[in-house]
Structure 1
């Protein structure tokens, strides 16, 4: 394979083992949502919500590992989720799913860029626009231009920074402050964080399972890593990733509890600025800041790379046969256009990451049943299967106009699951009748 072969951009040059596979997946899944949603979850749902957030993320990665093993076995020779969808769906169903993939991909990219923008605004005394421009330029050269090989090169550095930050900084604080003063301060000023009979937190955790599982089922970057992992090590890699990932939101929650013990606060996201002030050690401040931006940049670059790969391989090549040079040209143009759009939108909008996650949760929940049907089926599926996700998501959003709560996500899942079940029963009966005749 030539060095400039476009396949190198999509998959890199090596098959990943367990250790580097875990590193690559952690670099993808320790995201802006992980960093920014941790304080919001802790404040809204207390310690139960913070612990539940970690466990749900771990559980969904572990469950997806079982599916990943089957995907790798049933679809050899594929490279992206788009390749599998093209094999299993009719043209109309395929294009509907591609639209959904791009919609959710742009949401993921927006959340990462928004997280970077919020941290730049909180930590650095520079214009937000300039900070985001520099950040997105870096991501463009890593994920948009560099491809999988470049992502592999920075993944190890990123994961090293992650664990250096989540281990060293909490230990430093607890040695300085002690465990019991922190506990007493939380109990005095924020007793609601310790309330263990919080039914809202339990409801949040069960709903998050649908959102997180649907999110990883259609995650473009995770599917690409399935096809570059060594076949026999796919499941164990996702399992270990889930177990390790769970420790990171817990560590971030502990950091924020150290920040707020013994005092009140006005804004959830100002806690990061107060945390920087509280650290005092210049080395640890630099470590924390670099950890935040490294994690977000790594996740955004991975998503940018996966989205660009799907655009070139599963959209442009459907219309015309592209030469190697044309593929690279479309890669630069498309990834650059995405970065420019993100720069403009993030400079204007700053919604809550957790609110956004559960707003898109209707789409993620509605995608679960169709994606499972696609993965386990052995034949080309009719348009109604992918279309059921659209109907389910619309049903959830209609419900949201009446009452804004997590029931909309459950309704989205139920509608799409019911439609997929009807299709499955109909196909089974039809097949049985044909066999009888």
Structure 2
């Protein structure tokens, strides 16, 4: 493939097999949100929540793998989720889905950039703004300018650093501290973490599955990988990626328990600082820092590239045909604007990752049934199907003052699901003359 061709920017030079497909998916889904949500989940829902968080994220990837096989069988020449939506939806429904995709793209990018900002503040004795300029400059070069081939080249290094950290650092600590002292310390100072019969944690686990699955179904980068992984290997690739991904939140939770045992803590993010302070080996400190920024940068690179591709290919090109040179030019401009916006916003705001996850959880939950309808249906899609997610999400948000976040997410899921079921029944019902 010609490297100057825009198709090279979108999908790289080759189709991915199982091994590199798994690496590419892990590089996308081991994110800053994984690093920052693990402490919150462990503290708020205990070890049951931490285990459930890991298993539900893995199960969401496995389930999407079966759906990915259906997508590859039905859509042969597409490259992005936007290509599929354009083929299946009416213009009104298409532009609505494009809007949702772009909004959730910026949310995903913001979460990763915010994680980078927090870690720069914790680890490095430099102003966060300066650190973020360097970090976002790197992401702009890899994810915005270089394209999929460069992302593939960095994916292997990123995943190697991630697993090197989550394997070596816990072993180092447990050899030093021992398992029983950690258990006794947690039992004495933080007994709630070991409480298994936590119904809130069970409720959280099943809601997390709903959110994760909706997030994967709407993820631009994941859809791109569906089309560049070899067709006959796509289900196995997602299943293996899910199983491996589950080990990362578990490893992070075990690290945090090592820090927490025998002491209290100021706030959740101070735990990460104490981890850095507690690691006495210079090599392991460097490995931990590289692990954090490898996870965040790989997720930003994948999302920035996918969002840029979506905007240029599935938004701009619908207004007028673009030359190959114009596609490259607008990709540079758009990704540059996104990086600058992230730099400014992260320098001003520092919201709670878990709260943001549940805030957007209404959107992700409400889109699941409509997306399944769109993907699996072989007939024209009524315009009400994509808009049912809007009605479901709005219903969930309106009921938040009268219920909690978790129930509101299930309400959003139920509303959009009932609307889609009603439409399906009406289309199946015989017309009487």
TM-score of the pair, normalised by structure 1: 0.98
In the other structure, the counterpart of 2:257 is 257
Q: Where does 1:200-239 land on structure 2 (aligned, <5 Å)?
A: 200-239=200-239
Aligned-CA RMSD value: 0.9
Partner of 2:16: 16
Q: Rate the CA distance shift 1:405–1:2 in 2: closer, same or farther, 3 A.
A: closer
Pairing 1:372-383 to 2, within 5 Å after superposition: 372-383=372-383
Structure 2 regions of 5+ residues with no counterpart? none
Output the CA distance in 2 between the equivalents of 1:245 and 1:272.
20
Question: Within 2, Cα distance between the matches of 1:148 and 1:220?
Answer: 13
Query: Would the aligned equivalents of 2:102 and 2:307 in 1 still touch at CA under 8 Å?
Result: yes
Pairwise CA distance, 1:379: 2.1
After superposition, where does 1:411-426 map in structure 2 within 5 Å?
411-426=411-426
Instruction: Name 1:286's counterpart in structure 2.
Output: 286
Which whole-Å CA distance do the structure 2 matches of 1:125 and 1:392 have between them?
45
The equivalences for 1:134-145 within 5 A come to: 134-145=134-145
1:404 CA drift (Å): 3.4
Partner residue of 1:334? 334
Tell me by how many angstroms 1:99 deviates: 0.1
Q: Which residue of 1 aligns with 2:364?
A: 364
**How much does 1:423 deviate?**
1.0
- Give the distance between the partners of 1:412 and 1:403, measured in 2 at CA: 12
Partner of 2:36: 36
Q: What is the aligned partner in structure 1 of residue 178 from structure 2?
A: 178
State the 1:3 CA deviation.
Answer: 1.5
**1:405 and 1:158 mapped to 2: Cα distance?**
34
| Structure 2 CA distance for aligned equivalents of residues 3 and 89 of structure 1 | 32
2-structure distance, mates of 1:212, 1:412: 15
Indicate conservation of the 8 Å contact 2:373/2:420, yes or no.
Answer: yes
Q: Where does residue 164 of structure 1 map in the other structure?
A: 164
1:10–1:147 Cα contact (<8 Å) kept: yes
Q: For 1:287 and 1:105, how far apart are their aligned partners in 2?
A: 29
* Unaligned 5+ runs, structure 1: none
Match of 2:404 in 1: 404
Distance 2:383 2:335 in 1: 30
Give yes or no for contact 1:216–1:222 (8 Å, CA) kept in 2: yes
**1-structure distance, mates of 2:423, 2:318:** 28
- Give the whole-Å Cα distance in 1 for the aligned partners of 2:404 and 2:123: 33
Matched residues in 2 for 1:425 and 1:132: separation? Answer: 52
Quick check: 1:95 aligned with 2:95? yes
Counterpart check, 1:313 vs 2:313? yes
Aligned length: 433
Q: How does 1:116-131 map to 2 (within 5 A)?
A: 116-131=116-131
| Helix, strand or coil at the partner of 1:244 | helix
**Superposed displacement of residue 279, structure 1:** 0.8
In structure 1, how many angstroms separate the alpha carbons of the residues matched to 2:337 and 2:14? 29
Are 2:224 and 2:306, in contact at CA under 8 Å, matched by a contact in 1? yes
Report whether the alignment pairs 1:298 with 2:298: yes
The reply on whether 1:191 has 2:180 as its aligned counterpart is no
Offset at 1:150?
0.5
Distance 1:304 1:16 in 2: 20
Structure 1 Cα separation of the partners of residues 185 and 384 of structure 2? 55
Distance in 2 between the 1:343 and 1:13 partners?
A: 31
Deviation of 1:209 (Å): 1.1
Report the secondary structure of 1:336's partner residue.
Answer: helix
Matched-pair contact (CA < 8 Å) for 2:139–2:297: yes
Q: Report if aligned partners of 2:121, 2:128 keep a CA contact under 8 Å in 1.
A: yes
Could you tell me whether the CA contact under 8 Å between 1:87 and 1:380 is conserved in 2? no
1:56-135 matched pairs, under 5 angstroms: 56-135=56-135
Within 1, Cα distance between the matches of 2:11 and 2:248? 27
Deviation of 1:383 after TM superposition, in Å, equals 1.2
Moved over 4 A (4+): none
TM-score by length of 2: 0.99
Query: CA separation in 2, counterparts of 1:171 and 1:5?
Result: 47
For 1:73 and 1:12, the matched residues in 2 are separated by 21
Please give the secondary structure, in 2, of the residue aligned with 1:379: coil
1:198 CA displacement: 0.6
Q: Distance in 2 between matches of 1:304 and 1:91?
A: 25
